[in-house]
Amino acid sequence: MPALRAAGVVCVLGLSVFAAGCRKTPAEHVTRADAYVQARKYSDAIVEYRSALQEDPKLGDARLKLADVYALLGDARNAYREYVRAADTMPDNIDAQLKAGAALLVANQFAEAKARAETVLRLAPRNPGGLTLLGNALAGLNDLTGAFERLNEAIEADPGQGALYSNLGTLQLARGDRQMAEASFKKAVHASPASAQTRVALAHFYMTQGRDADAEAALKEAIGIDPRSIQANTNLAALYMRTGRVPEAEAPLKTVADVLDTAEARFALAQYYIRTKRTKEAAAILDKLSATRETYALAKAHLAAIDYSEGRAAEAHRTLDEVLKRQPSNRTALLLKAKLLVIEKKYGEAMPLARTAANADLTRAGDAYYLEAQIYLAKGQTEEALDALKQVLKVEPRSVAAQLLLARLYAAKGEKQPAIEFAQQAVAADPDNPDARLALVRSLLASGNNDRAAQEIRALLMRFPRSSTVQVQVGALQMARHDLPAARTAFTRALELDDASPEALAGLVALDLGDRNAVAALGRLEARLRAAPDDARAWHLAARAYALVGDAPHVEQALHKTVELDPSNGEAFAMLGDIYAIEGRLDAAREEYQRWATREPRSIAAHTMVALLLEKQQRFSEAQQEYQRILEIDPHAAVAANNLAWLYAESGGNLEVATELAQSAKAQAPDQPAFNDTLAWIYYKKDLVNEAVPLLQQAIEKDPQNPLYHYHLGMAYAKQGEDSSAITALKHALQLKLAGAEAQEAKRVLDELDIH
């Protein structure tokens, strides 16, 4: 025993004379790693392979095996690096060259992949793998003729290898030849009947064609052949989730987690449990993951998100603060903390965290820049939001979320061409994304490019024939083409698919009123309200319809119901106030709403109406106090915040406080034109006209007949020095019957501009 203990001490001390006897050789590390792979202990295998390579960096076989493990775990970045290094270390190893070439294909480095294929074919001129790699590389380089020739050569060389037919099918599909592609994918299955992979490829083809039932059958066949197939189980889980069969996704996700036994797979299973509200199961997985240094922060962030979603906001913040105390630059915790603060409308606290997250790793800062953009938008700072989104695209040029938001913002500003361009980029980045295609359709329709919009709509209809949203766009296209019967058919179909679609209902009501068929329009609306008496948007639409037919009592009733259900609807409050003012009923109405507020002290709608009527009576001090009381009840009451901001701005109050209030209102209802106008006018008073102009353009886009918005835009243009634009906007405001002091000021500014 003493001798053994002494030898142990020597090894611990690492005395050089004995060091060689204590250290494992590279071969021993590789042997241990191979055993770990067999036992599916992939993390331990990686450690052993890397230890071998530290001892001998030119050990190409170990590097190739390490790359295989990374590929198995879905770690494409590390797999790519190790495959290329292995191929460089072993230039005559065909397997290494083929795998490096495949990794280069995934990275879109087609010229480099072509070079690897040519290396293989110099070593073995008829090698099917080399021919396939060359064919795929040529396809990436847009040489489809050469690609087909090489793939056909590969099939001739080895007609029994099903994967070659799958490759051919992929090329045929890219050329739009769906029948030939399907035939090739089926040949692949026939050529390799024991292959799960060929069935996964066939299933993927079916999914691209919207044939989910066929895809499911092919994936189940693949799992029948290989129950532990990562690709088959992953795809089947995704199909179940996408088609609304969420409970059925659990089994394949658990299989993936068990087979891989990696943190990423466990996180995926935990996220599934979070989505299905099974947070106890999710927390059990996450608690284990939080015990490991590498996954501590991410697991804790997920646990914080669960706490927040279940109403434990303080606990969520404590968890994130704990993470940030240990890891102050942890991007995940910084971003989640910032997102929670945004939900709580604490934009001033959220922005520094988003910026710290961006600076923590500029190469992965896209999500942080995107969050910055959202904060700017909540504060009404459109230009800063646009700049932040462009920063996203510098880091992630194919970020669909950023492209779509840019398209929407430019559309709101009336800048149609950039809106189309960003929507097109989103479609190019993700051709199967319905939101991207819908954004492109909307942009094209707004620009009057109906023919191109029709092409995009046809593609959407093929992919999503039962989508109410797509049918609404068909209706919008037919309206633009003045084909009213076709528009009616499309809106009717949309409503059949989704009886709650406000766009479809609005389209049909507009068509009814256009046909002077008020009975049909009102009947349609009243049927909707009987079916869904709490649909605030339907009540508001009904109020507008009643106004068009001159039914004042029903207008008032519908507006009253609208504000009761949706106290953030500033337009409905304004319409109701105008009715009482025109009819000379301000006192009686205010007393009625005061009784309501007394009965229901926390009713935001009742208190807001009282304040609004006080404002109509020019009792501004009392109105201001009432709005302040409302915000004590609900700090996020949008109409109260907006109107109080306006009173502060017009009475010479604190413009910084007014800005915060107006930004809070806009955050609650970003598309409300009155809220955009209020915030813009405050920016005008603060000489921030570059911020004011896009907000006013958005307000006018939503309510083009409002003279006040055109007046404010004209004044902003005048302060910018855009004289011709100012003259156009101010004259338009006067044409729309701008009245009072604003009309006098518009005329004065026009006189000055005409002189110049």
Does residue 748 form part of some domain?
yes
Q: Where are the alpha helices (DSSP H) in 107-229?
A: 110-123, 128-140, 144-157, 162-174, 178-191, 196-208, 212-225
182: closest CA among 201, 196, 163, 195? 201
d(CA 364, CA 15): 44
How confident is the model at residue 162, as a pLDDT?
64
Task: Please determine, for residue 321, whether its predicted confidence score (pLDDT) is greater than 90.
Answer: yes
Nearest to 49 by CA among 5, 85, 91: 85
Residue 739 forms part of a structural domain: yes
Compute the CA torsion angle 408, 414, 416, 417 (nearest 10 deg): -100
Domain-located, residue 409: no
Whole-model pTM: value is: 0.66
Rounded CA gap, 104 and 396, in Å? 19
CB 302 within 8 A of CB 283: no
* More confident site: 74 or 445: 445
Beta carbons within 10 angstroms of residue 346's beta carbon = 12
Residues 34-50 have pLDDT tens digits of 898 888 788 888 888 89
For position 234, what pLDDT does the model report?
A: 92
Closest among 363, 303, 301 to 338, alpha carbons compared: 301
What's the mean per-residue pLDDT of the chain?
A: 86
- The whole-number pLDDT of residue 727 equals 92
For range 535-547, the mean pLDDT: 90
pLDDT higher at 256 or 136? 256
Higher pLDDT, 412 or 565: 565
CA distance 677 to 309: 33
Are residues 452 and 484 in contact, defined by beta-carbon separation less than 8 angstroms? no
Task: Report yes or no on 720 lying in a domain.
Answer: yes
Mean pLDDT of 336-355: 91
- Can you tell me the mean pLDDT for 715-727? 91
Q: What is the pLDDT of residue 429?
A: 87
Number of domains in the chain: 1
Q: Is residue 312 pLDDT above 70, yes or no?
A: yes
State the CB neighbour count (10 A cutoff) for residue 72.
Answer: 17
Q: Worst-scoring range by mean pLDDT, 100-109, 445-454, 674-683, 701-710?
A: 100-109
Residue predicted with more confidence, 6 or 255: 255
pLDDT class for 188, splitting at 50, 70, 90? confident
Give me the pLDDT at residue 175, please: 66
Of residues 741, 742, 713, the one with CA closest to residue 728: 713
Mean pLDDT, to the nearest integer, of 116-140?
A: 83
State pLDDT tens for residues 505-531.
999 999 998 888 888 989 999 999 999
Per cent of the chain over pLDDT 70 is 95
Q: Rounded CA gap, 132 and 118, in Å?
A: 11
715 located within any domain: yes
Range of the domain at 680: 670-756
Whose CA is closest to 97, among 69, 148, 132, 147? 132
pLDDT beyond 60 at 389: yes
pLDDT band per the 50, 70, 90 thresholds, residue 755: low
Would you say 232 and 219 are in contact if contact means Cβ atoms under 8 Å apart?
yes
| Cα–Cα distance measured from residue 537 to residue 469, given in angstroms and rounded to the nearest whole number | 17
- Residue 350 in any domain: the answer is no
- The full length of the chain comes to 756
CB 274 within 8 A of CB 286: no
Q: Return the pLDDT at 447.
A: 86
CA-closest candidate to residue 262, choices 300, 288, 236, 224 = 288
Considering only residues 226 and 177, tell me which one the structure prediction assigns the higher pLDDT: 226
Amino acid at the residue 243: T
712 close to 681: Cβ distance less than 8 angstroms: yes
Q: In angstroms, rounded to a whole number, what is the distance separating the alpha carbons of residues 468 and 474?
A: 10
Which band of pLDDT confidence, cut at 50, 70 and 90, is reported for residue 76? confident
pLDDT tier for residue 18 given thresholds of 50, 70 and 90? very low
- Is residue 380 pLDDT above 80, yes or no? no
CATH number at residue 680: 1.25.40.10
pLDDT of residue 104: 83
Answer for the pair 321, 315: CB distance below 8 angstroms, yes or no. no
What would the 3-class secondary structure string for 216-272 be? HHHHHHHHHHCCCCHHHHHHHHHHHHHCCCHHHHHHHHHHHHHHHCCHHHHHHHHHH
Higher pLDDT, 403 or 244: 403
The DSSP secondary structure of 422-486, one letter per residue, reads HHHHHHHH-TT-HHHHHHHHHHHHHTT-HHHHHHHHHHHHHH-TT-HHHHHHHHHHHHHTT-HHH
Q: Kind and range of the H or E element at 704? A: none
Task: Find out whether 271 and 263 touch, Cβ atoms under 8 Å.
Answer: no
- Report yes or no on 259 lying in a domain: no
pLDDT surpasses 70 at 6? no
SS3 per-residue string spanning 623-659: HHHHHHHHHHHCCCCHHHHHHHHHHHHHCCCCHHHHH
pLDDT of res. 3: 38
Please check the confidence at residue 26 and state whether its pLDDT lies above 50: yes
Separation of alpha carbons 561 and 555, rounded Å: 10
Q: Is 606 helix (H, G, I), strand (E, B) or coil?
A: helix
Residue 665 lies in a domain: no
Mean pLDDT of 106-125: 86
